[in-house]
Amino acid sequence: QKEVEQNSGPLSVPEGAIASLNCTYSDRVSQSFFWYRQYSGKSPELIMSIYSNGDKEDGRFTAQLNKASQYVSLLIRDSQPSDSATYLCAVNFGGGGADGLTFGKGTHLIIQP
């Protein structure tokens, strides 16, 4: 069974602090991992993709991947109220051809001004 697990929250973080979002997945051979942000009533917006072990940084966002532990995380530095949203972790479990994404339930992040 292909599963993606996230803590649904809400996760409350003061403005300017670091928000840390975590995700685990069930299949060790998975190759592609994504973080999407979704505001209420809107569609998912890609924040980061990561394919290799280690860290990947893009502005205030850092994705971390540890395939041995089947763990992927997202750090948001200098959190802003506009970062308040649901963050979806997504995994492409497929090994060939076009494959869909399996999403975690999402973590609801609240940045407190």
Partner 1 sequence: DTEVTQTPKHLVMGMTNKKSLKCEQHMGHRAMYWYKQKAKKPPELMFVYSYEKLSINESVPSRFSPECPNSSLLNLHLHALQPEDSALYLCASSPEDRGGTQYFGPGTRLLVL
User: Distance (Å, rounded) from C-alpha 34 to C-alpha 27?
Assistant: 15
Residue 29 binds partner 1 (CB under 8 A): no
Residues 70-109 as x/- pattern, contact with partner 1 by CB under 8 A: ------------------x---x-x-xxxxxxxxxxx---
Residues 31-50 as x/- pattern, contact with partner 1 by CB under 8 A: xx-x-x-----xxxxx--x-
Judged by CB, which is closer to partner 1: 18, or 46?
Answer: 46
- Tell the smallest beta-carbon distance from residue 94 to partner 1 (Å): 7
Judged by CB, which is closer to partner 1: 41, or 78?
Answer: 41
User: Distance (Å, rounded) from C-alpha 21 to C-alpha 40?
Assistant: 18
Query: Of 13, 82, 20, whose CA–CA distance to 45 is shortest?
Result: 82
Cα distances (Å, whole numbers) of residue 77 to 2, 42, 80, 95, 104: 30, 23, 9, 33, 22
Six token digits for residue 78: 């200098």
User: Distance (Å, rounded) from C-alpha 89 to C-alpha 91?
Assistant: 7
Judged by CB, which is closer to partner 1: 16, or 95?
Answer: 95
- Enumerate binding residues for partner 1 (CB under 8 A): 31-32, 34, 36, 42-46, 49, 51, 88, 92, 94, 96-106
